[in-house]
Amino acid sequence: MFALETKSNNIVSLVFMSIKLNIVEKADSLFRTFGIRGVTVDDICKACGISKKTIYKHYSDKYALANKSLEYHYDKLFKEINSIVKNSSNAIETFFKISLHFRETLNDITPSFVHDLKKFHPDLYEIHQNSKEKLFVKSLKSVIKNGKKEGLIRIEINEDIIPKLRIEMIEAGFNQDVFPQKNYNYMDIQIISFDLFLRGIVTPKGLKIYEKTLNTLKP
């Protein structure tokens, strides 16, 4: 009897977790596509195929859900980048694959997402910035260190400054005051940005591998 009750509780717990994950995944996708202000709880309910009552059973309001979606997004991204680092043959390939993966995620992100965070949810924006810096700075520092050992990254490159500069380069591409969405393609901006960045830090040996990789992978 106890075993049956335990099994039943485990099933209920799994269903509960599945519902919460579905809500967060759908909300994260909607927020990044339309911006936080552009998404209502009704939109999330429709995407999930559930009622408002179910949403509010798990999350107090849209703000709490946005907060959770940021946590979910960066946890997922952390695992994906770690996998890329582990499965790349050298630092150049790692940079390429991280850049490709990043731009795949950009396809679903509207510039208004970051704008909404910064202007209307400064506390969430701070979480976004801190999570992004913690993830990317740590990852890029590791790749640069490995690249130096491989003779592909210039030894004098500052491992603390360069990762932060790279993040700022990426962020600049979303600045609508500088690059209005109606006039610029964000993918083009990021491709040019990546090319400038990598050419600026590689050794002659690294440059040869980079240019060879350009023929097999698009940055």
Task: Kindly report, residue by residue over 162-204, the tens digit of the pLDDT.
Answer: 999 998 888 788 777 888 878 988 788 888 999 999 999 999 9
In this prediction the pTM is: 0.76
Which pLDDT score, from 0 to 100, does residue 165 have?
92
The residue-averaged pLDDT of 115-142 equals 85
Which pLDDT score, from 0 to 100, does residue 2 have?
47
Which pLDDT score, from 0 to 100, does residue 16 have?
64
Q: How far apart are CA 82 and CA 38, in angstroms?
A: 32
CATH number, domain 61-214, options 1.10.357.10, 3.20.20.70, 3.40.50.2300, 1.10.340.30: 1.10.357.10
Residue 30, CA distances (Å) to 16, 45, 122 in order: 21, 11, 19
Mean pLDDT of the chain: 86
The residue-averaged pLDDT of 73-80 equals 88
| Between 110 and 73, the higher pLDDT residue | 73
Which pLDDT score, from 0 to 100, does residue 158 have?
96
Which pLDDT score, from 0 to 100, does residue 1 have?
52
The residue-averaged pLDDT of 119-143 equals 86
Q: Is a pLDDT exceeding 50 seen at residue 59? A: yes
Which pLDDT score, from 0 to 100, does residue 190 have?
87
Which pLDDT score, from 0 to 100, does residue 4 have?
45
Instruction: Provide the residue ranges of all domains of the chain, joining segments of one domain with +.
Output: 61-214
The residue-averaged pLDDT of 143-168 equals 94
* Chain Cα centroid distance, residue 139: 12
The residue-averaged pLDDT of 32-40 equals 90
